[in-house]
Amino acid sequence: MTEQEQKDKNVEHFLDLNKQSNRGKLKIYIGMSAGVGKTYRMLQEAHSMIKNGINVQIGYIETHNRKETQDLVAGLPFIPRRQTFYKGKQLDEMDINSIFILKPEWVIIDELAHTNIPGSKNEKRWQDVQDILNEGINVITAVNIQHIESINEEIKKIAGIEVNERVPDSFLKMADEVVNIDLTAEELITRLKEGKIYDKSKVELALKNFFKPEKILQLRELALKEVATQVVRKIETEVPRPQQLKQEHFLACISSNNEVAKKIIRKTARLANYYNSKWYVLYIQTPNESANKIALDKQRHLINNYKLAIDLGAEVIQSQIKSDGTQLPVNVPFISLHSTASNIVDAIMQIATEKEITTICIGKPHLNMWQILLKTSIFNHLLKGLSENDIDLIILS
């Protein structure tokens, strides 16, 4: 690193610290499912804060008609909700402008993954929370584990459904504190049967679907792992590592295969989040996918996967194998176009060297690009290059 680059890095670090000092504090309660007690715990905390003379107000709470939760709402100061009409119905939303005007020291905001009514300032509630934090207001909020973006594939396998309301992992990284609200599967099912989660008319259906013990156990494991990851990140941030230790940097290599690329991106995001490290996504355009050959649906999938990677905190890089010099016409302003390379291995190693990559993640060898690697001496060339540079290789299922 040159002296000027070091100076630029120091300035960037100072600006980040200054920005953090002006930003409000963020505390997130995470639970494995509805009914574990996240909202209840937030309301308990609000009562405790008021007793200690702290200015805390309710920005948005959803009690789901649970008596225990409704009883705790009494006596807490509320910021009135914004009322709006949508499709002929009067609906309530959190009033972010009133929060800005009243500017309490702390605000309680439930249902973090909620999608706002069309016409709202932001599409998602977590974006509202970002704006509130940027105003210097502290926030306590809550989310279920199934709403975290990078574990969407795991949730789909466990629950059998795709959760559409998702919170990006980059938002969780902003948290000053992440707390898991934990119950055993037996305790959660007991609460369900007692009518403390849903109306009793819905209990039998819930027991046959989402609230099966094996599903609850898997969701519980994901929640515990997520909070553990956040603790590791906090240690990485607040407890300096010895200078001689090499910082982990991950590189996800993707092809134009949409479903596999999404899985590689999400799994690499999880690894990078666990190590609190930088990570990159690399797409190498082969001559077979030049502008006049690539199918339009593959081009569209590539752009969508680029955007997914950006949302999850990656830097996206596109490289090209030398052919006729034609670049893939991807008009996405947030990706880096890298210089051409003579072959796939050279393209990977160029990026790996430039970005100081420690671990490369690829998909199973059924991908066209990796079939080429495995069937030729190129794969040996890749392994030799990785070995010489102390770079690990992970083949993801």
Query: Could you tell me the pTM of the whole model?
Result: 0.65
Confidence at residue 60, expressed as pLDDT on a 0 to 100 scale: 96
- Range 195-211 average pLDDT: 86
The alpha-helical segments, DSSP class H, found in 194-343 are: 203-208, 213-238, 258-275, 296-311
Q: What is the rounded CA–CA span in Å between residue 167 and residue 95?
A: 20
Q: What is the rounded CA–CA span in Å between residue 146 and residue 24?
A: 26
Residue 279 has pLDDT above 90, yes or no: yes
- CATH code of the domain occupying 23-238: 3.40.50.300
Three-state secondary-structure class, residue 54? coil
Q: What is the rounded CA–CA span in Å between residue 336 and residue 350?
A: 14
The alpha-helical segments, DSSP class H, found in the chain are: 3-22, 38-51, 67-73, 96-102, 125-134, 152-159, 169-173, 185-193, 203-208, 213-238, 258-275, 296-311, 344-354, 368-375, 378-388
Confidence at residue 14, expressed as pLDDT on a 0 to 100 scale: 45
Split at pLDDT 50, 70, 90, the class of 234 is: confident
Q: What is the rounded CA–CA span in Å between residue 139 and residue 129?
A: 7
Residue 300 has pLDDT above 80, yes or no: yes
- Range 364-387 average pLDDT: 65
**CATH 3.40.50.620 occupies which residues in the chain?**
249-395
β-pair partners for 252? 281, 361
Phi, psi of 321 (to 5 degrees): -80, 135
Confidence at residue 6, expressed as pLDDT on a 0 to 100 scale: 52
Residue with tokens 């795709």: 162
What are the pLDDT digits (tens) for 330-367?
A: 444 445 555 566 778 888 888 998 998 999 998 876 54
% the chain with pLDDT above 90:
46
Q: Are 93 and 99 in contact (CB under 8 A)?
A: no
- Range 127-135 average pLDDT: 97
Q: What angle do CA 83, 88, 92 make, to 5 degrees?
A: 20
Confidence at residue 90, expressed as pLDDT on a 0 to 100 scale: 84
What are the pLDDT digits (tens) for 102-119?
A: 999 999 999 999 999 998
- Range 208-229 average pLDDT: 90
The fourth-level CATH superfamily of domain 249-395 is HUPs (3.40.50.620)
**CATH 3.40.50.300 occupies which residues in the chain?**
23-238
